[in-house]
Chain A
Amino acid sequence: GNSVTQMEGPVTLSEEAFLTINCTYTATGYPSLFWYVQYPGEGLQLLLKATKADDKGSNKGFEATYRKETTSFHLEKGSVQVSDSAVYFCALKSGGADGLTFGKGTHLIIQP
């Protein structure tokens, strides 16, 4: 079956630091890959996505590249802000009727 593994948190960084949150996946076929963000007390919001190998998703300064050879979709941001503090979920979706499969989430804390 499908699965997503992402680094355990919490990850604590200082403002303006470089961020990497690792994500690897196991899936049949060629899934689409996603990063969702959950701010405190809120639902999940789509941050970025990539639907095929070598695609790069980007939004709000965050980027992730779909690497089929390493089955990875690592999230990066060059300079984080306090407002980026949230829980980040890597997810995949295979074709057909399967729902999204999520990783366990990484809690990111940015200190001023």
Chain B
Amino acid sequence: DTAVSQTPKYLVTQMGNDKSIKCEQNLGHDTMYWYKQDSKKFLKIMFSYNNKELIINETVPNRFSPKSPDKAHLNLHINSLELGDSAVYFCASSQDLVGYGYTFGSGTRLTVV
């Protein structure tokens, strides 16, 4: 059983489209995150949710909207995709807000053409 699973693994789409990435964790964790990894491997946090409540919302364009229907799921919807959105997006979870043990998904490679 995969602890943190993301779908899809690869996503190729045209500029201007709207797409979603889904994330689910079966660890019983309270907190989930989205991180963006750019072409130089730099990782930056985008959002965090704790028990479905938005906690961290870094400087991310409004085109990115996270949604957490329950504490086991955190989806990322992206409107009007741009070339610069091409990256690998990682979902992660931790026991709670102060938890040190993050578990990462295997990533979604988004390519905007």
Query: Chain A interface (Cβ within 8 Å of chain B)?
Result: 32, 34, 38, 41-46, 49, 51, 87, 89, 93, 95-102, 104-105, 107
Closest to B58 in A: A99
- Residues of A contacting B11 in the complex (Cβ-Cβ under 8 angstroms): none
CA distance A43 to B41 in the complex (A): 12
- Residues of A contacting B104 in the complex (Cβ-Cβ under 8 angstroms): 43-45
CB<8 Å pairs between A and B, sample of 20: A42-B107, A43-B104, A43-B105, A44-B90, A45-B104, A46-B101, A51-B100, A96-B98, A97-B50, A97-B56, A98-B56, A99-B33, A99-B48, A99-B56, A100-B45, A100-B102, A102-B42, A102-B43, A105-B42, A105-B43
Q: Which 9 A-B residue pairings sit nearest by Cβ, starting from the closest?
A: A43-B104, A99-B45, A102-B43, A105-B41, A43-B106, A44-B104, A97-B97, A104-B42, A97-B55
Dominant SS at the B interface?
A: strand
Chain B residues with a Cβ closer than 8 Å to the other chain, count: 24
Flag if A43 contacts B90 (CB, 8 Å).
yes
Within 8 A of A (CB), among B37-59: 40-45, 48, 50, 55-56
- Residues of A contacting B44 in the complex (Cβ-Cβ under 8 angstroms): 102
Flag if B40 contacts A104 (CB, 8 Å).
yes
CA distance A95 to B90 in the complex (A): 22
